[in-house]
């Protein structure tokens, strides 16, 4: 009874509501609620439907066109290339028919209502796609598993305070300051640090044998050295000079420039020549845009570089700000990578074999970790710009030339009291260059250019050697280099070309009047003989031994 009464009340309500379109009245117990949300206008609905129909029609038309185009290509192929008279069909049809006959038994496994040719094409396409996906995923997994993250080491470098209140970090190697017979300072190159001596792999025992104090330091913004607000090669040479004074280097010192670090060694020869006893250049880089290079030298310099490296050089010269994008994706990504990839290098076979060894990889990773310690883009961009921009000087300026007073009234008056004195300009000390003839990082054409404009430089061309093979982790090579610039270790000679060229020894009356003259010269001082011949022509040649 109760159920029938409730049904009657609901029907009464429906009858009453039929007289009114929307009363807005909600009866208690009614489960339905009116939809009060605004409804779109009919015109808007029509416009949306028309736009959808247009998009669908456009897509369908393009699909039909693509299908018709495909059928058209098929017809063209069948009527031209795939005819029985065509050369391709005559050559390929017999072997394909034989192959099809051999594998025809596989068609028994296919559905009977399908064309075998179409089925096998689909199977081939899916198989190739699956293999591609598997190869990419396997490469990704192997790459992820082999990637080594950059380790941040605690700070602990020795540092000096420069006159402009910047700190410069350095690392000593070899003998102590009191035991040193020779001091050798090494400015590092791009993506390196004060541990550049470790990259070379020179043994401490060898340095002690020659009495060499080897000093590496961090360039501004690298490692633990403070950045320089306006860095250039002049400021780089001054930093090197302040470092030598602060750590107690006695007398003159030698500079060693390796690869991209050589531009700071060139700057030392230009801006502080009186403090540098000599220079040892290992595969030295010069500005690849130097206007003094001939077309042939430029062509040979650029021809073996990778496209990526050429592009990075161009960006460093024209749009240096864009370099940050590449650096953040490579060595500033927080992960280690291959040397040739990080620096966009192409390597010779000997170099490839060397950089894949665990010993080289260990010292390379340590150098990179120290180089990117501060995680700052600016020092790397500045270093890249210095390589390709105007250095503020040319290597021609280092050429030894005789400078005489200009002609004029003052020089004429001076001539009345005596002939005018001419002075030698340029860098007077010895410069030795070692260059691998298979080097693809710093090509031999750069050394040929240096040898042309600096004829006094001694060039040691290394056959079948690359950019790293002779200079890194090679004890015999290191011994040859040290013996060339410092002489044999048992001789312990103090005489060098810089001392002879200063003329101090030649000004001594006792020296000139002595009947017995004993001069011991090593291979690095061969030019001393020529110098003494010009200054003291009255001495017998037999004494110059």
Query: Please, which pLDDT band fits residue 43 given cuts at 50, 70 and 90?
Result: low
DSSP 186: E
Decide if pLDDT at 145 tops 80.
no
Which range among 38-42, 187-191, 197-201, 525-529 shows the weakest confidence by mean pLDDT?
525-529
Of the candidates 1, 29, 35, 34, the residue with the CA atom closest to the CA atom of residue 13? 29
Task: Considering only residues 45 and 401, tell me which one the structure prediction assigns the higher pLDDT.
Answer: 401
Distance CA 260, CA 427 (A): 21
Distance CA 316, CA 310 (A): 10
Residue 369: per-residue pLDDT: 93
Residue 499: per-residue pLDDT: 42
Decide if pLDDT at 174 tops 90.
yes
Distance CA 432, CA 256 (A): 10
State the DSSP string of 379-442.
HHHHHHHHHHS--SS-GGGGS-EEE-PPSSHHHHHHHHHSPPPPEEES--S-EEEEEETT-SSS
The sheet that has 458-462: what strands, in order across it? Answer: 158-161, 167-174, 212-217, 182-187, 253-258, 276-282, 431-436, 458-462
Distance CA 439, CA 370 (A): 26
Distance CA 166, CA 244 (A): 16
Decide if pLDDT at 291 tops 70.
yes
Residue spans of the domains in the chain: they are 117-146, 159-492, 497-543
pLDDT in tens, 461-472: 999 999 999 999
This prediction has a pTM of: 0.65
Give SS3 for 80: helix
Query: Please, which pLDDT band fits residue 411 given cuts at 50, 70 and 90?
Result: low
**If you average pLDDT over every residue of the chain, what do you get?**
79
The token pair at 305 is 């570089």
Mean pLDDT score, 358-376: 93
What pairs with residue 168 in β-bridges?
160
H helix intervals, 81-106:
87-102
In Å, how far from its chain's centre is CA 225?
A: 21
Which range among 3-17, 168-182, 228-242 shows the weakest confidence by mean pLDDT?
3-17
Question: In a 10 Å sphere around its CB, with 0-12 CB exposed, 13-18 middle and 19+ buried, how is residue 218 labelled?
Answer: buried
What pairs with residue 172 in β-bridges?
215
Half-sphere exposure at residue 199, Cβ-oriented, CA atoms within 13 angstroms: 29
Which element (helix H / strand E) includes 302? helix 295-302
Query: Please, which pLDDT band fits residue 423 given cuts at 50, 70 and 90?
Result: confident
Using DSSP, how many helices (H) and how many strands (E) does the chain show? 21, 10
Torsion of CA 232, 233, 238, 242, to 10 degrees: 90
Residue 96: per-residue pLDDT: 73
Distance CA 329, CA 376 (A): 14
Residues near 331 by beta carbon (within 8 Å), at least 6 away in sequence:
191, 337, 342, 368, 371, 372
Residue 413: per-residue pLDDT: 58
Decide if pLDDT at 236 tops 80.
yes
Output 202-210 pairs: Cβ under 8 A, ≥24 positions apart: 202/173, 202/478, 203/475, 203/478, 204/173, 204/174, 206/475, 206/478, 206/479, 206/482, 207/173, 207/174, 207/175, 207/482, 208/174, 208/175, 208/179, 209/489, 210/181, 210/182, 210/482, 210/483, 210/486, 210/489
Residues near 207 by beta carbon (within 8 Å), at least 6 away in sequence:
173, 174, 175, 213, 214, 482
Domain 159-492 coded CATH 2.60.40.1840: no
Which range among 147-156, 362-371, 468-477 shows the weakest confidence by mean pLDDT?
147-156
Q: Give first-to-last CA distance, the chain, whole Å.
A: 139
**% of the chain at pLDDT higher than 90:** 52
Mean pLDDT score, 44-58: 73
pLDDT in tens, 442-462: 999 999 999 999 999 999 999
Return the ∠ at Cα 192 (arms to 187 and 194), rounded to 5°: 50
Decide if pLDDT at 432 tops 90.
yes
Residue 133: per-residue pLDDT: 76
Decide if pLDDT at 408 tops 70.
no
The token pair at 32 is 């339905």
- Nearest 5°: phi and psi at 466? -105, -145
Distance CA 418, CA 130 (A): 92
């Amino acid at each position: 009874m109760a159920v029938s009464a409730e049904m009657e009340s609901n029907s009464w309500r429906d009858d009453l509501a039929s007289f009114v379109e929307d009363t807005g009245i909600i009866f208690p117990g009614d489960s339905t609620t009116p939809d009060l949300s605004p409804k779109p206008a009919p015109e808007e609905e029509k416009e949306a439907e028309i736009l959808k129909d247009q998009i669908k029609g456009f897509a369908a038309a393009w699909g039909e066109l693509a299908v018709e185009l495909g059928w058209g290509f098929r017809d063209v192929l069948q009527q031209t290339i795939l005819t029985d008279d065509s050369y391709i069909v005559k050559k390929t049809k017999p072997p394909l028919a034989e192959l099809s006959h051999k594998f025809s038994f596989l068609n028994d496994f296919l559905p009977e209502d399908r064309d075998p040719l179409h089925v096998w094409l689909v199977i081939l396409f899916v198989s190739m796609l699956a293999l591609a996906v598997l190869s990419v995923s396997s490469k990704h997994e192997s790459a992820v598993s082999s990637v080594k993250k950059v380790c941040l080491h605690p700070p602990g470098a020795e540092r000096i305070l420069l006159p402009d209140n910047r700190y410069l970090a350095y690392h000593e190697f070899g003998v102590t300051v009191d035991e040193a017979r020779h001091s050798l300072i090494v400015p590092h190159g791009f993506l390196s640090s004060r541990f550049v001596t470790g990259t070379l792999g020179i043994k401490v025992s060898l340095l002690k044998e020659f009495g060499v104090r080897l000093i590496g330091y961090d360039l501004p913004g690298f490692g633990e050295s403070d950045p320089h607000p306006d860095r250039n090669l002049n400021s780089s040479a001054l930093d090197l000079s302040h470092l030598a004074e602060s750590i107690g280097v006695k007398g003159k010192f030698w500079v060693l420039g390796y690869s991209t670090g050589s531009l700071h060694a060139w700057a030392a020869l230009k801006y502080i020549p009186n403090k540098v006893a000599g220079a040892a250049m290992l595969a030295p880089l010069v500005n690849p845009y130097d206007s003094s290079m001939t077309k042939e030298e430029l062509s040979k310099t650029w021809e073996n570089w990778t496209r990526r490296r050429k592009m990075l050089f161009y960006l460093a010269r024209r749009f240096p700000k864009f370099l940050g994008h590449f650096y953040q994706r490579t060595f500033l990504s927080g992960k280690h990578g291959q040397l040739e990839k990080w620096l966009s290098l192409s390597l010779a076979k000997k170099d490839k074999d060397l950089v894949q060894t665990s010993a080289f990889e260990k010292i390379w990773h340590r150098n990179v970790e120290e180089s990117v310690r501060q995680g700052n883009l600016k020092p790397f961009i500045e270093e890249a710009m210095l390589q390709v921009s105007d250095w503020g000087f040319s290597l021609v300026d280092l050429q030894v030339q005789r400078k005489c007073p200009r002609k004029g009234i003052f020089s004429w008056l001076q001539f009345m009291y005596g002939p005018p004195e001419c002075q030698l300009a340029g860098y007077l000390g010895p410069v030795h260059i070692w260059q691998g003839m298979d080097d693809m990082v710093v090509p031999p054409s750069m050394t040929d250019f240096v040898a042309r404009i600096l004829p006094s430089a001694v060039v040691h061309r290394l056959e079948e050697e690359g950019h790293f093979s002779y200079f890194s982790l090679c004890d015999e090579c290191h011994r040859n280099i040290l013996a060339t610039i410092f002489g044999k270790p048992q001789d312990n000679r103090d005489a060098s070309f810089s001392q002879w060229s200063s003329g101090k020894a030649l000004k001594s009356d006792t020296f000139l009047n002595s009947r017995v003259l004993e001069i011991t010269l090593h291979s690095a001082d061969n030019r001393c003989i020529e110098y003494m011949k010009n200054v003291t022509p009255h001495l017998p040649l037999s004494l110059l031994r």
